[in-house]
Amino acid sequence: MKKVQKSLAALAACALLALPLTASADWTEGAENRFYTEGGTVAARVSLTTQQSLRVAISPDEGTASFYFLYGDDAEEEAFALQLPCLVQQGTEPSALVSVLPVVDTGNGKRFYVIDTGVPAGCLIVSYSGGKYQTAFDASSVAGDWTEASIEVQEEELVLHLTDAAGTTQDYLLKYDKKSNTFSTEDAASVSTVVIDRTEE
């Protein structure tokens, strides 16, 4: 009987080790970096920390925003580079607004950067650790015909907001996997759904 109990305990331990390590965290926001241009391409470079910097280039005519995350004395060709679509507002001149929000997990000091260009394929979380950057979440990976996306930073949660062309919105609590240092909506809680009826009576 004792052998059976030991075997069951070992199996239970193995099952626990196979599960992803997910948890909520205490998030602290840094100063948001916002970049706007109307009628032409704009480029800017900002310091993120004493060792990290970011160069951004926005082109409303092409509907793109490029982000180059750098560490130390890295040359631009060594940067962690992302070229993303952005939401373009049509007026007298096409315009675009993008932002990068630093976020820190106060429990372990890990740094993340929330990128928002207004569209799902431009709504990302970039992680930083040990001089290296990687994509930790991409809103375009969420199934659905979403046209707008943003991520809200709350004290203990990161909330993904999605909207489709009809105005229907869907919110998800992002799940953080400590092992892979990434976020996902897989099996995540859907915290709200709002359907906007635009049918004329």
Output the DSSP codes for 172-194: EEPEEETTTTEEE-TT--EEEEE
Residue 27, helix vs strand vs coil: strand
Give kind and range of the element (H or E) at residue 133: strand 132-138
CA–CA separation, 110 vs 107, rounded Å? Answer: 8
- From 59, 50, 69, select the one nearest 98 (Cα to Cα): 59
Quote the CA–CA distance of 195 and 79 in Å, as a whole number: 41
179 vs 149, residue with greater confidence:
149
Tokens for 31, please give them. 């100063």
Nearest to 115 by CA among 145, 89, 80: 80
Hey, what amino acid is at 197? D
Cα 70 to Cα 6: distance, rounded to the nearest angstrom: 51
Tokens of 43: 């480029």
Lowest-confidence segment of 55-59, 112-116, 133-137, 182-186 by average pLDDT: 182-186
Residues 6+ apart with CB under 8 A from 187: 175
Chain centroid offset of residue 192 CA: 19
Residue 190 has pLDDT above 80, yes or no: no
List the one residue out of 103, 101, 105, 100 whose CA is nearest residue 84: 100
What value does the mean pLDDT of the chain take?
82
pLDDT of residue 167: 92
> Where in the chain are the domains?
21-194
| Tokens found for residue 198 | 């635009």
Q: Residue 8: what pLDDT?
A: 34
> What is the reported pLDDT for 39?
80
pLDDT digits (tens, 9 = 90+) for 69-120: 999 887 777 899 999 999 998 888 899 999 999 999 888 889 999 999 999 9
According to DSSP, residue 78 is labeled: G
SS3 12: helix
pTM of the model: 0.80
